[in-house]
Structure 1
Amino acid sequence: MVEVTVASALLAMAALSVIAALLAAIRSERDAVYREQAWLLADSWAETARSVGPAGIDWQAAVTALPHGKLALVGAGGGMATLRIEWAGAQPAAEGPSSCTGVFVTAGGVRCVALAFATAGGG
């Protein structure tokens, strides 16, 4: 009887571990999809800025595909500009240096992508 109880407990722990691993994989995949959308938007902004300029396009509406998405042109001048897109991650990012500081008030879990590009007409 004790063996059955121990085996059942081990089986339950193994099942919980599998469920936790699946949930982590789902969160990771969702973060990868958000990052891909952010890079696509940043690239579209840069290509548009280099050709005709980003005026007339509702970029904030495009950023709403990301949770709590924000878009900012960080630095411009000298023929270069940097665009940063931020969004809320599912959980706080791992400890380490962050490039998501400076433009917005950032809390734990903020993810970002930054893209530097040459501007049309040197500025």
Structure 2
Amino acid sequence: MIDYKPKALVVYAGDNDLGDGRNPEEIFIFFQQLMVKVNIRFGNLPCYFISLKPSIHRWHIADQFRYTNNLIESEIIKLHGNWKFIDVFKKMLDKSGHPNPSLYDYDGLHLSEEGYRLWTESVKEKLG
């Protein structure tokens, strides 16, 4: 990406890491390292972090996803910098507080077309 000059950066990361057994603190450290590397490479570029999503397949570790999101969102707020947090987690839950099945593919992990529409709207809303 040496010659790449983006107008903004949108990042989604950490879902598979937690699913593979890493802990929220590790994901947070990875995020902090990413912030530093992006700043060195791109300067004060507008950056957006899409929250880790809930999923039917990984619902048994939903608290780890919530905690990771909280760590990252708190860091973004604390730094008052060029990063913004896009919360899709809450938007993907149904009225009972569980993942809305219509937003997922048959595997209960990947997004359905409806799930991607929700993400698209969420990102566009934050990009303003």
TM-score (norm 1): 0.30
TM-score (norm 2): 0.30
Higher helix share: 2
